[in-house]
Structure 1
Amino acid sequence: MTIDYRYILFYKPYGVLSQFTKDSPTRSTLKDYIEVPDVYPVGRLDWDSEGLLLLTNHGQLQHRLSHPRFGHERTYWVQVERIPDAAALTQLQEGVIIQDYRTRPALVQLLPTPSLPERDPPIRFRKNVPTAWLEMTLTEGKNRQVRRMTAAVGFPTLRLIRVAIAHLHLDGLQPGQWRDLTPRELKLLLDLAFAGRGA
């Protein structure tokens, strides 16, 4: 029997847990949005973060993409309190200490305010405190890493959206929407995951 593999991109809204099982009557889960049986998220996105989540029932691909050794790029748009200076950006780019760990070098730059759907609920603005947007591309996914990195250099994260996983992008999706990968996206993903390691 051949397994019919599914590969799904989902725009996870704020406040949705990256799982199908409900552990709280008040929190939404993936089950509230995706009615495809037996697919599971590759990695995770915290309940208070938004953006791109990849789901599949292809266990070997899931393992390859989730393994720390794999190091595929994940890109985030991050709204922070205050305007980071050049020194803070350099620190984020070169790596910061969070707990007892130094983060890997990352691509970090200031971003013009992006056009995004409103968050529900909206972030709490403080009138006297400006905010800025950063684009951060990491090759690792430690627990709450982006938030810990920006806090470590003095610019707490207010809003966090994952906009890309490797070559896969949020383009065309609204919060709560999902779609299957295109054949081209899938081919690139499989090539990326299994290149040089034998399928």
Structure 2
Amino acid sequence: MAAGEPGDLGGYYFRYLPQKTFQSLSTPETTSRLRQWSMLGRIKAQAFGFDQTFQAYRKDDFVMAFFKDPNVIPNLKLLSESSGQWITLGTEVKKIEAINVPCTQLSMSFFDRLYDEDIVRDNGHIVKCLDSFCDPFLISDELRKVLLAEDSEKYEVFSQPDREEFLFCLFKHLCLGGALCQYEDVLDPYLETTKLIYKDLVR
């Protein structure tokens, strides 16, 4: 059997699609924002295709087959915690845990509640608060508080199912940024970048 052909991987065969690019991550405006948020060079998207029918109840088999596929192992990029450099997977994964990440939210009105609950002012400025810590993050405004502080009175503005949505996860990731993040004072840059990347990834 030739390398890359379906075998004992549940019938799944993957192919790397290097020609598929995600322009949302490389626009001048996005690049500038990612640099400010200490995320430039630390966020990457790659595309892989498959021809078989995906069955949700077999998601564990699907994900394990992906990480064992000979077209994935030498091409999938990971960010090394030790060096901070992008490296390839390079070896078969022995154990996985597949988690459903819903993509049911299709409108940025999902975040209107941030205005309704006085987390963001009508003019778009994020409301400040007394400094507190949620290791390793400094919480100095109501936005980071609603994202991180489970004991916050406004934490339930977003339900647990809301927080599992990919749209929310992407927004939270951008808002929290990297180790040397320079936070925004207004909400729009976070919303605009979230929308741009989300539309690029979820089609």
Q: TM tier, shorter chain?
A: under 0.3
Higher strand content, 1 or 2: 1
TM-score normalized by the length of structure 1: 0.26
Higher relative contact order, chain-length normalized (CA < 8 Å, sep 6+): 1
Q: Which has the larger radius of gyration?
A: 2
- Answer 1 or 2: which has greater helix percent: 2
Query: So what's the TM-score if we normalise by structure 2?
Result: 0.25
